[in-house]
A and B are shown apart, each in its own frame.
Chain A
Amino acid sequence: MTTTIAATAATPRTKSRRVPIKHKRAILFFIAPFAALFAVFYLLPIGWAVYQSLLVVERDGTFGAPVEVFGGLSQYVLVFQNEAFWASVGRVLLFGAVQVPVMLGIALILALLLDSPLVKGKKFFRLAFFVPYAVPGVIAAIMWGYLYSPNLSPFAAFTQQFDLLSPSTVLWSIANVVTWVYVGYNMLIIYSALLALPSEIFEAARLDGANQWQIAWTIKIPLVMPAIVLTAIFSIIGTLQLLAEPQVFRSFTSSVSSTFTPNLAVYSTSAVPNVSLAAAMSVILAIATFIMSFAFLKFTQRKADK
């Protein structure tokens, strides 16, 4: 279908030779609003963060007014020496290495079950699993904070025995909050991809005697891999950006430090105020996120090509 359109559309274009761009003003009208906003509120801040991160504050003597001067990469040196920041990076990497596969695994299993003939009442389950996505991270964290509480939880019999808010467990308690919110969303993305598969493929496999498990493993999962990659990339980005949930948990427990995640470190450093150091952290974080999601995309694409 696409090819026929392209062919018919191409013929008039070759006939009308030497007309540089058709509909120039319309194109400008369509693109200008987004382009302007994107430039001012996306590209400019990135540039500004880089610029700010190259400045250092200097004082004229002990009582002189602070002046910002160009300091080269000295803020970056400070970031690399900042143990709290790297501890927070390690923490979210550990978090992501466990939480993202668990969450996507659950999402995949639920999507496959919804797509299989084994389950009745699909409409209800689909909605029930998706409802948590409508709960903002802050609200979800407040809610789970009470559910974890040793005194106020409806499961107090359990939470009094196992402290879910201690320094060794709080990271995984937060992981549970994030999983709870996003499983349904990821499940729906994978499920929509499953629905778009033509069913003839499975009919043939069924006639050959394949069971649902074999169909899922050998046919469905490879075919919906692009959807799984998409959810994985968004999850990686989300993990490195963790902020709202740990920030909320700070009012439930002292186990969450002010530099618990990289974004919390950025926030507390900028509140000092040490904006140049915070800007350098922001830049490193953005680059790391970009590289990780890009590398993951390339890695999975190469695997698919083989």
Chain B
Amino acid sequence: MTATLTPKTTATKPERTVSGAPKEKLASRTAAMIIMGVSTLYFLVPIWWLFISSTKSRSDFGSTAGLWFADFNLFGNIKDLVEYNGGVYLRWMLNSVVYAGAGALLGTLFAAMCGYALAKYRFPGRELIFNVVLGGVLVPATALALPLFLIFSQFNATNTFWSVFLPSLVSPFGVYLARIFAAASVPDELLEAARLDGAGEVRTFFSVSRKLMTPALVTIFLFQFVAIWNNFFLPLIMLRDQNLFPVTLGLYTWNSQVNQIPEIRTFVIIGAFLSIIPLIIAFLSLQRFWRGGLGAGSVK
């Protein structure tokens, strides 16, 4: 449904805005732009402050105007940050990239395969599986953190890479999105044609259907990437060894030590700033994919 509607609306949309019958009153235009301007300040000023603070030396931070540059010390700060405590910050960033990158990649693959099967094949138990998965969407991930800890401790497997990595592979919402998208974008005729050509079901999925589902797959990947990157409770409860920390947990522990070790404050600020750059870049560069997929979940 979505797939058929979207091209049409994007084609007619500009027409509506350009030739929009009577001219809107100047007052409403001004009011609208004021709301947009104020909102932009609200959303961007905190990030601007974080950037400015990252460029300041420890003595300038707090003693100079918060929203404008003092001496530009960004690269000196970065150097100090990555050298502090044997380079543990880089280790955290790397951990986050592996947890979120590999976790989202595998998680998206599994969710896509499952959602695809639920959409494209008829078999007994299909609705049951889908409903259980849908129930899983409503079960909060944080409610699982403690029981997961208890289960992993049965096998002495807490405080390991796997104790954080494996649970984050499961994305019920990804299955839900994949099913909706597979139903809408992979025509049954195409699958029949592939069958007549003698292609196996699995090969058809990886060579034909996967390509048709690309916008959905990018969406699922990105949102799972964000979910894992932002995850806090599970690593907090599972991990003791700071070499296994993701960057969020690492910065959290630093921030709670600021009162004992004041010089660490600069590292918290600059570390926080550097840690959000990869996600912003990922979102901006992939936006033409995920914006199409974002609405899919709500259209049904």
Q: Of B4, B109, B149, B233, which one neighbours A263 at CB under 8 angstroms?
A: B233
CB-contact partner of A42 in B109, B172, B258, B280, under 8 A:
B172
Bound CA–CA A44/B32 (angstroms): 51
A95 contacts chain B at the CB level, 8 A cutoff: no
Q: Using a CB–CB distance below 8 Å, which chain B residues touch chain A? A: 1-2, 4-6, 8-10, 12-13, 15-17, 20-21, 24, 28-29, 32-33, 35-36, 39-40, 42-44, 46-47, 49-50, 53, 61-62, 65-67, 109-111, 113-114, 116-118, 121-124, 129, 133, 135-136, 138-144, 146-151, 166-167, 169-170, 172, 175, 187-189, 192, 200-202, 205, 226, 229-230, 232-233, 236-237, 248-249, 251-252, 255-256, 258-259, 268-269, 272, 275-276, 279-280, 282-284, 287, 291-292, 294-295, 297-300
What are 13 A-to-B residue pairs whose CB atoms are below 8 Å? A31-B113, A38-B172, A44-B151, A49-B146, A136-B275, A139-B272, A147-B49, A224-B298, A243-B233, A244-B248, A248-B255, A263-B142, A294-B138
Given contacts A5-B189, A27-B117, A119 and B299 within 8 Å (CB-CB): no
Contacts of A144 in B (CB 8 A): 46
Q: A196 touching B138 by the CB < 8 A rule?
A: no
Q: Which A residues form the contact surface with B (CB < 8 A)?
A: 1-2, 5, 8-9, 12-13, 21-24, 26-27, 29-31, 33-35, 37-38, 41-42, 44-46, 48-49, 52, 106, 109-110, 113, 116-121, 125, 127-139, 142-147, 151-156, 180, 183-184, 188-189, 192-193, 195-199, 202-203, 206-207, 212, 224, 226-227, 230, 233, 237, 240-241, 243-244, 247-248, 250-251, 263, 266-267, 270, 275, 278-279, 282-283, 285-286, 289-290, 293-294
* Cα distance, A233 to B47, chains bound together (Å): 28
SS of B interface (majority): helix
B251 contacts A34, CB within 8 Å? no
CB distance from B260 to the nearest CB of A (A): 11
- CA separation between A188 and B43, bound complex, in Å? 15
Residue with the highest number of chain A CB atoms closer than 10 Å, among B65, B140, B205, B283? B140
